[in-house]
Chain A
Amino acid sequence: MKSYYITFRSVTFAQRGERLLKEASVRCSLRRTPRWMEEQGCGYALRLWTRDIAEAVALLRRENIPLRRVYGALGEGELEALEL
């Protein structure tokens, strides 16, 4: 189980995403976006733990919830932006 961040442009979309993922039994929590992840400043993100981030992202997109970015650990190192 890996940890990821999905960032959003508004708290409302982050909340919709949280509702949707939890209904799909994906463990996640709402939090402020770490400053370094959002160059435009101030936002909300979901931190989630899942084996299949691509599926979680696809679920959000199917429900028309716009995402900013997805971050995850590629290896042992720090979080990096993922292309999904």
Chain B
Amino acid sequence: MSYLDYGATSFHKPPQVSRAVERAMHVCASPGRGGYAAAEQAARVVFRAREEAGRLFSCRPEQVVFTMNCTHGLNIAIRSLVHPGGRVVISGFEHNAVTRPLHALNAALTVAGEKLFDWEDTLACFDRALQPGVEAAVVTHVSNVFGYILPLEDIARMCRDRGIPLIVDAAQSAGVLPLDFEGLGAAFLAMPGHKGLYGPQGTGLLLCSGDAQPLLYGGTGSMSREQTMPEELPDRLEAGTQNVPGIAGLGAGMAWVRRRGPENLLLREHALLTLCAGKLSEGGLRVFSGPHQAATLSYLPHGDCEEEAQRLAEHGFALRAGLHCAPLAHRSAGTLETGTVRLSLGFDTTREDIEAFCACAARGKIRHPR
């Protein structure tokens, strides 16, 4: 199988990750709860992973909150900043992990920037939308459908200048692009552990600049007589026993990414993506590619996108079709009715994978379902 669905999860991991998970299952008890060796070992594993995240994303260990996934972190961030009916600015490429929590709050949304790969337009739209009274801006760093890298640093600067808190969805960029939390000055930065950071599924990180409201209430191993959640991070947002084996694996994944360098990983993957975009275009397919693109690419097949992905799966290519939980992004790109086929590359994608995939994609039958 050629795995081309790294945007969903990094199904293949560096071997250090599963070794760290297995070791943690053997030697770690509950972290932050006991004083015996196995509990201390668990606390050390969790703290080292916090430190590793701090090195990778330029923040202090206590600003690193472990979550179950990126969606979990985004929910905490949004609930911390947005009141029911509040005004929020989002990009035109947000995932349902952003839009559904905002919808649940009946937030008044302004969608800023719907043109793919066009920084000038994106920034002009944010410039108009970031007005007094806006409670927060929520911006994906990289579109999960099209790989469009949004001009995050410029948007963050606008938010800082206007005193508007920024929430960053780094689902597709963590481990893929350099991220400097301190430099961005964002209020929150949410990311999954199981994509570009190569950790296990069921892991995520939320970086917090300051105050945050818990989604879960419960034991933290600290200040037990107080019936309110502790004020201090990360305890405030980490009720209940942590996923220590998952965090151990995530720590190993982050260390691996940091040693390789996110920019080096992307450089290699982007070269393959450019090759792929060219070959698919030569095959007469409509490909969504442009400047400011990470290692994710969508295209319109000749027929139904889901049927095409099924056909490709039968030929050994694992990728995803449909709306990718991001109807807003598809609406922005004009593909809400058709969906797209998306491929997203990872550390072990090869030139041979891409050439074989493009040859297979070009053989797709022309079908007209309606």
Shortest CB distance B251–A (Å): 14
Shortest CB distance A39–B (Å): 7
| Given known A15-B43, A30-B40, A32-B34, contact A9–B222 (CB-CB < 8 A) | yes
A binding-site residues for B, Cβ under 8 Å: 9-13, 15-16, 19, 30-32, 39-44, 66
Q: How far is the CA of A16 from the CA of B233 in the complex (A)?
A: 13
Binds A, one of B189-197, B223-231, B281-289: B223-231
Pairs of residues from A and B, 9 with the lowest C-beta to C-beta distance, nearest first: A41-B224, A42-B224, A32-B35, A11-B32, A15-B47, A41-B225, A40-B223, A10-B235, A40-B225
Other A-B pairs beyond A9-B235, A12-B233, A40-B223, 13, CB < 8 Å:
A10-B62, A11-B31, A11-B47, A11-B222, A12-B61, A12-B234, A12-B235, A16-B61, A16-B62, A32-B34, A41-B223, A42-B221, A43-B222
Query: Cβ of A66 and Cβ of B232 under 8 Å apart?
Result: yes
Chain B's closest residue to A63 (CB) is B60
B342 within 8 A of A: no
Chain A's closest residue to B219 (CB) is A42
**A-B residue pairs in contact (CB < 8 Å), sample of 13:** A10-B234, A10-B235, A12-B47, A12-B62, A13-B232, A15-B61, A16-B62, A30-B40, A32-B34, A32-B35, A40-B223, A41-B225, A44-B222
B330 within 8 A of A: no
Q: How far is the CA of A15 from the CA of B60 in the complex (A)?
A: 12
B contacts with A, residue count (CB < 8 A): 25
Main secondary structure of the interface of A (DSSP, over half): mixed
B binding-site residues for A, Cβ under 8 Å: 31-32, 34-35, 40, 43-44, 47, 50-51, 60-62, 220-226, 230, 232-235
Main secondary structure of the interface of B (DSSP, over half): loop
Query: Cβ of A44 and Cβ of B232 under 8 Å apart?
Result: no
| Given known A9-B230, A9-B232, A15-B61, contact A31–B221 (CB-CB < 8 A) | no
Q: Please give, as numbers and ranges, the residues of chain B lying within 8 Å of A40 by CB-CB distance.
A: 223-226
Q: How far is the CA of A11 from the CA of B40 in the complex (A)?
A: 10
Q: How far is the CA of A43 from the CA of B230 in the complex (A)?
A: 12
Query: Cβ of B223 and Cβ of A12 under 8 Å apart?
Result: no
Query: Cβ of A11 and Cβ of B230 under 8 Å apart?
Result: no
Q: How far is the CA of A11 from the CA of B61 in the complex (A)?
A: 11
Shortest CB distance A27–B (Å): 17
Q: How far is the CA of A31 from the CA of B43 in the complex (A)?
A: 11
Shortest CB distance B205–A (Å): 14
Chain A's closest residue to B64 (CB) is A12
Q: How far is the CA of A41 from the CA of B50 in the complex (A)?
A: 25
Chain A's closest residue to B221 (CB) is A42
Q: Please give, as numbers and ranges, the residues of chain A lying within 8 Å of B35 by CB-CB distance.
A: 31-32
Query: Cβ of B223 and Cβ of A43 under 8 Å apart?
Result: yes
Q: Please give, as numbers and ranges, the residues of chain A lying within 8 Å of B61 by CB-CB distance.
A: 12, 15-16
Q: How far is the CA of A10 from the CA of B50 in the complex (A)?
A: 14
Q: Please give, as numbers and ranges, the residues of chain B lying within 8 Å of A41 by CB-CB distance.
A: 223-225
Query: Cβ of A11 and Cβ of B226 under 8 Å apart?
Result: no
Q: Please give, as numbers and ranges, the residues of chain B lying within 8 Å of A66 by CB-CB distance.
A: 232
Q: How far is the CA of A39 from the CA of B224 in the complex (A)?
A: 9
Q: How far is the CA of A11 from the CA of B232 in the complex (A)?
A: 11
Query: Cβ of A10 and Cβ of B31 under 8 Å apart?
Result: no
Query: Cβ of B232 and Cβ of A42 under 8 Å apart?
Result: no
Q: How far is the CA of A71 from the CA of B284 in the complex (A)?
A: 75
Q: How far is the CA of A31 from the CA of B35 in the complex (A)?
A: 6
Query: Cβ of A10 and Cβ of B224 under 8 Å apart?
Result: no
Q: Please give, as numbers and ranges, the residues of chain A lying within 8 Å of B235 by CB-CB distance.
A: 9-10, 12
Q: Please give, as numbers and ranges, the residues of chain A lying within 8 Å of B220 by CB-CB distance.
A: 10
Shortest CB distance A5–B (Å): 13
Q: How far is the CA of A41 from the CA of B222 in the complex (A)?
A: 7
Chain A's closest residue to B226 (CB) is A40
Shortest CB distance A34–B (Å): 10
Q: Please give, as numbers and ranges, the residues of chain A lying within 8 Å of B31 by CB-CB distance.
A: 11
Q: Please give, as numbers and ranges, the residues of chain A lying within 8 Å of B230 by CB-CB distance.
A: 9-10
Q: How far is the CA of A74 from the CA of B219 in the complex (A)?
A: 35
Shortest CB distance A61–B (Å): 15
Query: Cβ of B232 and Cβ of A39 under 8 Å apart?
Result: no
Interface centre among A15, A19, A39, A66 (most CB of B within 10 A): A15
Q: Please give, as numbers and ranges, the residues of chain B lying within 8 Å of A39 by CB-CB distance.
A: 225
